[in-house]
Amino acid sequence: MARALFASMPPGLLAVLVCACSGGNGGGTAAAAPADGGAREDVMGGTTAPASADVTFLDLRGTAYPKSGAPEMAAHQLFVFASTPARQAAPAYRDDACSVDRIAGIDLAAMSGDVNVGDLAIEGYSTELVGATDDGAHITTPPPPRMLCQSDGFHYRCKFDPAATGSPLAGVRDDHVTFPLVSASEWPFHADTCDGAVRAASCEQHPLPDGAAVHFTLAAGSALGAIDETLAPPSDGFNVASVVGGGDAAAASKNLEDVTLDPSRDLVLSWAPAAGTAGGDTDAVLLQIVTSNEDRVNYEPKIPFGVATCLVPASAAGASITLSKAGIATLLGTPTQRGGTAKITLARLRTRALIHDGAPTTTLRTGRGVFGYALVP
């Protein structure tokens, strides 16, 4: 169930693939050569300020395929991501909404690591959770109430607080645990917190339940300035409303697992319900597709792989998002990838941009969505 996503990408590509693109899905072009995004020098040379910063916390639901060999299971996964790139890098393809790259190798001269700005802490998610780890173990002890995103010297990794006591999930990365349906008879928390809407006599788990608010903190004195912000995700109930260009099966089921990526057709996904803004924050919808040459059970983006990230306002006309056929062609590479898996994520985000005098812009995001492991034909 490894879900590497951003964490497996060369760090110099991270920021551009979560860029706050805006507007519709117009015609795309090959991107220009990479350019310095504003850091004073490359991280390898001792950069003290990143070009930008992004911290994201998502609760995603879909079907997981445990590496333990256990049967596929309906589950929620966390996607926790932090990036503070020393400089921006341009993708191979870009249009008004999407950035796409095919990672065929590692160019050390072009890579840009994350600047260490200190430990980013995230709290406010539910701890009434039963985790299933990569080895198939079900952990009924609640997870630590805090996650930390820490620099490993080159990029950021996010995990449950390693210093927490009393939880086997202390120090476990977000992409090494899922939260599957739990039998109501084995639900270890109060019966009123069991959500049995998905399957009778089972409890669906919600890392971000209704009423949750994610708390992001960073100590003062860093290049980003102090962060102490609480951001509530958009309301629950986000679903795929239609799939166009992803094949007949996906059009009928509206399940991202059934999508077929075809470089001769645009992929258009719509969602419901529509959403706007809350206070000074902005609602957006994210589409991300990351390919792997492995099957669903062993999914992990190892070189070569493709990454497409699209971001549009949640109130976009038609409530839809488009990855163009040119973007899909870039995603699948040359020669075109045959076989393997594409993890497709569609999520509604609440976004807040923080601007401190003399510091780069920090973008905080939290939200809910769906994922699916689609087979690449």
In tens, the pLDDT along 266-286 reads 999 999 876 555 566 889 999
- Count of CB atoms within 10 A of residue 33's CB? 7
231 vs 107: which has the higher pLDDT:
231
Separation between Cα atoms, residue 27 and residue 60, nearest integer Å: 30
Percentage of the chain lying above the pLDDT 90 cut: 63
The mean per-residue pLDDT over the stretch 143-171 comes to 94
Q: Please state whether beta strands 156-160 and 146-151 pair in parallel, antiparallel, or not at all (unpaired).
A: antiparallel
**What CA–CA distances, in Å, run from 218 to 53, 119, 215?**
12, 7, 10
Task: Assess whether the previous peptide bond of 85 is cis (omega < 30° from 0).
Answer: no
Give the range among 262-266, 345-349, 352-356 with minimum mean pLDDT.
Answer: 352-356
Owning domain of residue 15: 5-375
Separation between Cα atoms, residue 43 and residue 271, nearest integer Å: 39
On average, the pLDDT of the chain sits at 84
Specify the number of domains making up the chain: 1
Helix and strand counts by DSSP (H, E) for the chain: 3, 23
93 vs 316: which has the higher pLDDT:
93
Residue ranges of E strands in 235-359 = 239-244, 267-272, 277-278, 281-292, 305-313, 320-323, 341-354
| The pair of three-digit structure tokens given for residue 373, joined into one six-digit string | 């492991």
Q: How confident is the model at residue 9 (pLDDT cuts 50, 70, 90)?
A: very low
Separation between Cα atoms, residue 81 and residue 54, nearest integer Å: 8
Give the range among 135-144, 151-160, 249-258 with minimum mean pLDDT.
Answer: 135-144
Q: Are 8 and 302 within 8 A, CB to CB?
A: yes
Q: How confident is the model at residue 179 (pLDDT cuts 50, 70, 90)?
A: very high
Give the range among 6-20, 222-236, 260-274, 278-292 with minimum mean pLDDT.
Answer: 6-20
Q: How confident is the model at residue 169 (pLDDT cuts 50, 70, 90)?
A: very high
For the chain, give the longest Cα–Cα distance: 58
Residue 207 in this model has a pLDDT that exceeds 60: yes
Give the range among 8-12, 45-49, 180-184, 359-363 with minimum mean pLDDT.
Answer: 8-12
Coil vs helix vs strand at 5: helix
| The pair of three-digit structure tokens given for residue 156, joined into one six-digit string | 């950021």
Q: How many CA atoms lie less than 13 Å away from 79 in the CB half-sphere? A: 27
Give the range among 19-28, 125-134, 145-154, 285-294 with minimum mean pLDDT.
Answer: 19-28
**What is the reported pLDDT for 108?**
56
Amino acid identity of 181? L
Percentage of the chain lying above the pLDDT 70 cut: 83
Residue 160 in this model has a pLDDT that exceeds 90: yes
Closest CA to 283 of 237, 230, 352: 352
Predicted TM-score (pTM) of the model is 0.86
Return the residue matching tokens 């909404």: 97
Residue 34 in this model has a pLDDT that exceeds 80: no
Return the residue matching tokens 């990230």: 309
Residue 144 in this model has a pLDDT that exceeds 90: yes
The mean per-residue pLDDT over the stretch 63-72 comes to 84
Integer-rounded Cα radius of gyration of the chain: 20
**What is the reported pLDDT for 69?**
76
Closest CA to 367 of 198, 233, 248, 241: 233
